[in-house]
Structure 1
Amino acid sequence: MLVLISAILICAIESTIAACPHGFEINDGTCYFFSHGEETWFGAYESCKLFGSMLVEVNSADENIYLYNKTSTLGDSNSWWMGLTDKLVEGEYVWETSKHVLVVDEYTDWAVGEPNNHHDENCVKFAHSKGFLWQDTECDDEEHYICEKLDDSGEIVG
């Protein structure tokens, strides 16, 4: 009986570890990839797609806190793209992969005075200069990026 329980535990641990591909890390059942290099927002979006993932969509304060803690420790001056834009309709922010439109009572973590659309800013990042709060900025800027892994059904893992 002890051997069977041990085998079940080992399988459970291995499946948890194997849930994220190499280079991704798991947090609360979701796999995240934090880039080493920089891309434009569009390059970051395509890079995440190549990994079978998407630019991160922040769905809760807990997820944002995890991302804040992680990004603030990965480099002194790095900012990080997320999958939020208002490139189709100014002021209407949409998560690019899920096509979910942010509404007033949903979770956000905008820096003071953001979003401001200064110089046609249509893409959103965790901004180093704003204490890793959300900032709209030009999509052609080159920044680090965060991918969020999808499972085989196309749903977020976890």
Structure 2
Amino acid sequence: MESLYNSQEKSTEILYTKPGNYHGRKPTGHAKDLGGMKEKERNDTPSDNVTAIIQEYTQLTTSFSGLNSDCSVLFKDGLRLKKSIEKISDLYSDLTWKYYSLYSARDKHCPIFNPSTQERTCYVCPEKWHLFNDRCYLFTSRIRDWYSSRDYCVSIGSQLVIIESEEEQKFLEEKVTTLGHHVAYWIGLNDQVTEGEFRWVDNTLLETKISFWVQQPSHYKGQSCVYLGSDLRSHGWFHSDCGEVKRWICEGPCTKFII
């Protein structure tokens, strides 16, 4: 009985013995862990904690600097993207305007002549010439006398303009106005054969119902040639000596094709 009591007492002594004081006995695994934790707590000083905090702060600062750099790159990329979008938007607007301009020009230069098939007849003029109906017109910027102007038009396969309708006259007046006020252009009308009897360069006689005189021809000796010009009131026809120098208007056929 006494031996049993002694055995229990020894066992209790082992359980309540402080870590590290094993009275000659080897510590168990659990006791080792507890001892290590206590030892670590004793070894952790405020200086160690500050060092750890500084290291963590340094890492966070480095990470923040990296993020800030990334944000700067993204911001610059965003600005470049914005500029690219603005350029594309401007280009789109320009192309849209050109598309509708070409669309309108198509109807002007290539009107539909067969609604059932939607076929179009295109009328094309050389560069710097202007289309009206199915004719092309060249408004020169140089000046010559009437005879040299006539010969120039013939040399390029055309003639000094012959005006055959009020619509054609209005077209010429509008075009001349855009090129400059008070500018005179020779047309293909003169009275070289018979004084006072005006004929076109194709020798057809001027019809009085298709005439647009601002200044009625006066009877004076010498040949008169007609030019398109303006006074303070309106555009129209004037006559002067054929030897004077002025600009001139050539008229010729356009190129036609079907699409």
| TM-score normalised over the length of structure 1 | 0.77
Moved over 4 A (4+): 12-15
The offset of 1:23, in angstroms, is 2.1
Matching residue's letter, 2:199? V
Q: Is the 8 Å Cα contact of residues 189 and 199 (structure 2) preserved in structure 1?
A: yes
Of the three residues 61, 82, 86, the one matched with 2:166 is 61
Output aligned runs, 1:9-158, within 5 Å: 16=122, 19-96=124-201, 98-104=202-208, 106-112=209-215, 114-118=216-220, 120-129=222-231, 131-150=234-253
The offset of 1:150, in angstroms, is 3.4
Unaligned runs of 5+ in 1: 1-8, 153-158
| TM-score normalised over the length of structure 2 | 0.49
Structure 2: distance between partners of 1:50 and 1:134: 25
Structure 2: distance between partners of 1:43 and 1:132: 24
Aligned partner of 1:156 in structure 2 is none
Greater helix share, structure number: 2
In the alignment of these two chains, the number of paired residues is 138
Q: Is the 8 Å Cα contact of residues 134 and 253 (structure 2) preserved in structure 1?
A: no
Structure 1, 50-59 or 116-125: larger mean CA deviation:
116-125
Q: Give the secondary-structure state (helix, strand or coil) at the position aligned to 2:193.
A: coil
Q: Give the secondary-structure state (helix, strand or coil) at the position aligned to 1:115.
A: coil
Describe the shift of the 1:81–1:117 C-alpha distance in structure 2 as closer, same or farther (beyond 3 A): farther
Aligned partner of 2:34 in structure 1 is none
Aligned partner of 1:4 in structure 2 is none
Matching residue's letter, 2:141? H
The offset of 1:76, in angstroms, is 2.7
Matching residue's letter, 1:27? F
Q: Give the secondary-structure state (helix, strand or coil) at the position aligned to 1:124.
A: strand
Give the number of the structure whose alpha-carbon radius of gyration is greater: 2
Structure 2: distance between partners of 1:86 and 1:95: 9
Matching residue's letter, 1:16? C
Q: Give the secondary-structure state (helix, strand or coil) at the position aligned to 2:171.
A: helix
Unaligned runs of 5+ in 2: 1-105, 112-119
Q: Is the 8 Å Cα contact of residues 195 and 223 (structure 2) preserved in structure 1?
A: no
